[in-house]
Structure 1
Amino acid sequence: MILVGTPLSLHGRSEFAEVIHRLTDPVTEEWVRNFLSGFPLAHRVPGWFFDDRVREGAAMPAHACKAIFNGLCTAPPPTESGTIDSPTLLLWGARDGAFSIKEQETLAGRIAGAKLKVYPDAGHLVLWEYPERVAQHTTAFLGALH
């Protein structure tokens, strides 16, 4: 399992709750652009890539966005409802303003044998900022499982 910028839990986190709950159809590209811009990037991503994420976000109906968000905030965290025993790699950007290193270390500690890879110069959207590095680390992790 590969976890990228993953919270220990989203219970009690209401930073985006009001924004999501006010969402109505049609979800506009402007709304998605503003929402995604709330995740600061330590490094630029290609404009076409960001625009593609905006188009994908605008294609999702508001009720689906709300249901996904509510599910993430109300579901029991897997590390509290059972044991994760699959090999796990956690990737996290040290400039992540959403989730802390303490959360990452706690999460890694709750998954037997988990490996935590910190990207010192990345924000929350590690995959966006360093797709090549993420691919390399993922490939190496998966290759070591054989």
Structure 2
Amino acid sequence: MDADIRQLRLRTGITVPCLVQDAGGAGTPLLLLHAWGESRTSFDRLVPLLTGCRIYAPDLRGQGDADKPLSGYSLAEQAEDTAAILDALEAPYAAVVGSSSGGYVAQQLAVTHPDKVAALVLVGSPLTLRGRPAFASEVDALADPLDEAWVRESLAWFPRIHDVPAWYIEDRVRDALNMPAHAWKAILNGLCEATPPTESGTIHSPTLLLWGGQDNLLPRTDQETLAGRIPGAVLKVYPNVAHLVLWECPGRVATEIIGFISPVG
């Protein structure tokens, strides 16, 4: 499979790297949006399983190897960055897969740029992030350079039921340490201060929701409400999986994605 990392200069004023992998597929391309505090490499266990797909996996503003300016982190601005990524790739549309908060950005993109979202797969994605989670006070106290011990302790915010490879955990630690304190704070604030996308508009893209039944962050009632707000949306529950669905079962996620977007492509 041909793959390369492209440096994309976006119309929103920043530069982001993007994995572009062309497996020779002629169908709808896949845009993968990572969670807060991660990077495009959080999809390293998923991408090899998405056979026959054209894949775009960028680092998002403030994270990974993307530019890390002091501003531009509202939910609306994060969605505009995502639209600009597709423009820079000369891709008029894509099926969009969002992991955790990446799915929140994907929802906003589907509301503000419906023509760009051929389908939507939300993997442990919130209905709302209004308010501030219990760990927000820890984020408020962050200063550069980040304390590696704190980063490792923060992984306990989201318990895991299934084993995750040690190398993958170490990659996530590196992702976190690669983010300056201002980006940690600004991204979380941008998510928590935003009007939930499904309250500001309607998502018309075909949508699949994947949710872990042991999620300690997102209640099932919220997932059912989110699915109910998106016409025709399908909610699939993995009973013995927690919040980090992508981390715990990338194989199942890949199968779900391919099966869901194939009719679209």
| Post-superposition offset of 1:49 | 0.5
Contact 2:131 2:193 in 1 (8 A): no
Alignment length, in residue pairs?
A: 146
Partner of 1:52: 171
Q: TM-score, structure 1 length as denominator?
A: 0.96
Deviation digits for residues 19-78 of structure 1, max 9, x if unmatched? 111111112322221111221001110111001101111100010010100001001111
Match of residue 254, structure 2, among 124, 129, 135: 135
Alignment of 1:3-42 (within 5 A): 3-42=122-161
Partner of 2:218: 99
More helix by share: 1
Matched, 1:109 2:228: yes
CA RMSD, Structure 1 to Structure 2 (Å): 1.0
Structure number with higher relative contact order (C-alpha < 8 Å, ≥ 6 residues apart): 1
AA in 1 matched with 2:130: H
Matched, 1:72 2:191: yes
| Post-superposition offset of 1:14 | 3.0
Q: TM-score, structure 2 length as denominator?
A: 0.54
More strand by share: 2
C-alpha separation in 2, matches of 1:31 and 1:55: 13
C-alpha separation in 2, matches of 1:10 and 1:36: 19
| Post-superposition offset of 1:115 | 1.0
Q: Moved runs in structure 1, 4+ residues, more than 4 A?
A: none
Match of residue 81, structure 1, among 200, 203, 208: 200
> Unmatched 5+ residue regions in structure 2?
1-119
- 66 and 30 in structure 1: CA distance in 2 versus 1, 3 angstrom threshold: same
C-alpha separation in 2, matches of 1:62 and 1:41: 25
Moved more, 23-32 or 88-97: 23-32
| Post-superposition offset of 1:8 | 1.3
> Unmatched 5+ residue regions in structure 1?
none
Of all paired residues, the percent bearing the same amino acid is: 58
